[in-house]
Amino acid sequence: MCDVKKYGEIYKEIIKLNAQDTLQLVLESETEDEKDFYEMIGDYLLQKKQQEVLERNTN
């Protein structure tokens, strides 16, 4: 069984990243898998920001 609290804390740290942070992580990745992971995180965070902007503009 995984440590849910630990992963919850990791999630809280990840969602604090900005575009520059994720770009740095991608550029400094040591493996393709690591690069892909950080790119997915960056894409996810960008989509969340876009969703927030759309919601603000439609209200």
Q: What pLDDT, in 10s, does the model give residues 22-58? A: 999 999 999 999 999 999 999 999 999 999 999 999 8
Instruction: Name residues whose C-beta falls within 8 Å of residue 42's C-beta, 6 or more positions apart in sequence.
Output: 17, 19, 22, 23, 25, 26
Supply the pTM of this predicted model.
Answer: 0.84
Average the pLDDT over 7-11 and give the result: 97
pLDDT score, position 48: 95
- Are the beta carbons of 46 and 19 closer than 8 angstroms? yes
Statement: residue 15 has pLDDT above 80: yes
List the beta strands (DSSP E) in 1-59.
Answer: none
* Neighbouring C-beta atoms of residue 30, cutoff 10 Å: 7
Domain boundaries, the chain: 23-59
pLDDT at 59 over 90: no
Which pLDDT value is given to residue 40? Answer: 98
